[in-house]
Structure 1
Amino acid sequence: MSGAPGGAGPRLVLATHNQGKLRELRELLRGHVPGLDVEAQVVDAAAVGGPDVVEDGVTFGENSLLKARAVAAATGLVAVADDSGLSVDVLGGAPGIFSARWAGRHGDDRANLELLLAQLADVRDEHRGAAFVCAAALVVPANQGDAAREHVEYGELKGTLLREPRGEGGFGYDPILRPDGLDRSCAELTREEKNAISHRGQAFRALLPAIVEALS
């Protein structure tokens, strides 16, 4: 375990600068670790001076571990990271690990979305299958002679790509993926609805027992 039990300082670092992801992790953890103040003790990398990490892995799992390892090593705290993206059937799994920079500039959600829609403009509805995929990694740093521990879990949300964005919620490609069995895009779901079915929610829920053990 890293960080002082019950103390006010950070105990868990999410290796991201994305406030949406941080909010989701806090909501997932709320009430699961006795004495854990999720607002004060579950923080992002910027809050503890975490390093910028080159995501040069070739899979979601590799990239999530790269980020978690780097933050755990730099801060001495338990670190969690995820790498996620959109896998489009007719593109052979692309954008995949390049989802956040599909249009060339990292994090330009609007440009990424517009480029993808343009590339798929002539694809018939029955061939517009896609899935959000997430790998979530936990790294517990070495402590008092104990070796570092690592754990990775995965989640997937399958659906169909719409022809134009719908909804104001979420981020990334949420406005154009309609999950299987629903008539709304991910961006039209409430936060609770999205967390219940999302690829990231699935991966982090699978990782939750390992996180709880690391913080207990």
Structure 2
Amino acid sequence: MDTDPEPARIVLASKNQGKVRELQAMVAAAVPDLDAATAVVDARAAGLSDVVEDGVSFAENALLKARAAARESGLVALADDSGLAVDVMGGAPGIFSARWSGRHGDDTANLNLLLAQLGDVPDDHRSAQFVCAAAVVTPGGAEHVVLGEFPGMILREPVGEHGFGYDPIFAPDGYDGLSCAQLSPEEKNRVSHRARAMNAVLPHLVAALEEQDDPAGDDPPRPGSGD
């Protein structure tokens, strides 16, 4: 006999479908008893309002999104804020990565502008890192936020067919000059800045789900930063 689908239990505070696919796969791997196809919904499916990301750090913006998602949906919320930090540019584009060209989410324009800005920078000064802050917020107000970094360098032209954003021009350390867009989605999900942040925050997500299943248990942790 068919069983009813599992109700939504986690909301991913993002409408970026590339990011949503990555996060869904990571959540499914971390919580194998969870039917991610129905229990994990994104911001669009949950009907969440857009959030003004006016924080001055990745961590602040991740928390802004997770707090709003938990408040509006009544679900455990998982959010991230991530971007590219180029050393010679003082950490830019940083929190402005998705709108570096002035048009939010225009990956090609953002990438081309960054390459133009780094046109005269020699290879040994093109170091950079992808940075991700991941936050879990419960409807009861418990909060955890962690950071993950993925060091590498900026290539001189885009290569590869996978990924999104700046992936085609970012060569992570230890991959013989391959760009993130040349890694398989499975490999990138395993080693990326988002993977590192998510691996650190997922235990807090699992604990939040367990608390949801056992509301008579211990009191949830007070709001604050995680590990």
If the length of structure 1 is used for normalisation, what is the TM-score? 0.92
Which residue number corresponds to residue 112 of structure 2?
Answer: 114
- Over 3 Å counting, the alpha-carbon distance change for 1:34 and 1:100 in structure 2 is closer
SS in 2 for 1:152: strand
Partners of 2:18 and 2:113 lie apart in 1 by: 23
Q: Does 2:124 correspond to 1:131?
A: no
Q: Offset of 1:31 from its aligned partner?
A: 4.9
Which residue number corresponds to residue 15 of structure 2?
Answer: 17
Which residue number corresponds to residue 147 of structure 2?
Answer: 154
Matched to 2:138, the amino acid is V
1:146-201 per-residue CA deviation (whole Å, 9 max, x = no partner) reads xx100001100000100000001000000001001112100000011111110001
Matched to 1:30, the amino acid is A
If the length of structure 2 is used for normalisation, what is the TM-score? 0.88
Number of positions where the alignment pairs a residue of Structure 1 with one of Structure 2: 206
Q: Does 2:30 correspond to 1:37?
A: no
Q: Offset of 1:32 from its aligned partner?
A: 3.7
Partners of 1:32 and 1:123 lie apart in 2 by: 41
- Over 3 Å counting, the alpha-carbon distance change for 1:40 and 1:118 in structure 2 is same
Partners of 2:163 and 2:207 lie apart in 1 by: 30
Pairwise CA RMSD: 1.2
Q: Which runs of 5+ in 2 are unaligned?
A: 211-227
CA contact 1:11–1:41 (8 Å) conserved in 2: yes
CA contact 2:5–2:38 (8 Å) conserved in 1: no
Q: Which runs of 5+ in 1 are unaligned?
A: 1-5, 143-147
Matched to 1:13, the amino acid is V
Q: Offset of 1:84 from its aligned partner?
A: 0.3
1:52-73 per-residue CA deviation (whole Å, 9 max, x = no partner) reads 0000000000000000000110
Which residue number corresponds to residue 86 of structure 1?
Answer: 84
Which residue number corresponds to residue 175 of structure 2?
Answer: 182
Q: Does 2:24 correspond to 1:26?
A: yes
**How many percent identity over aligned positions?**
64
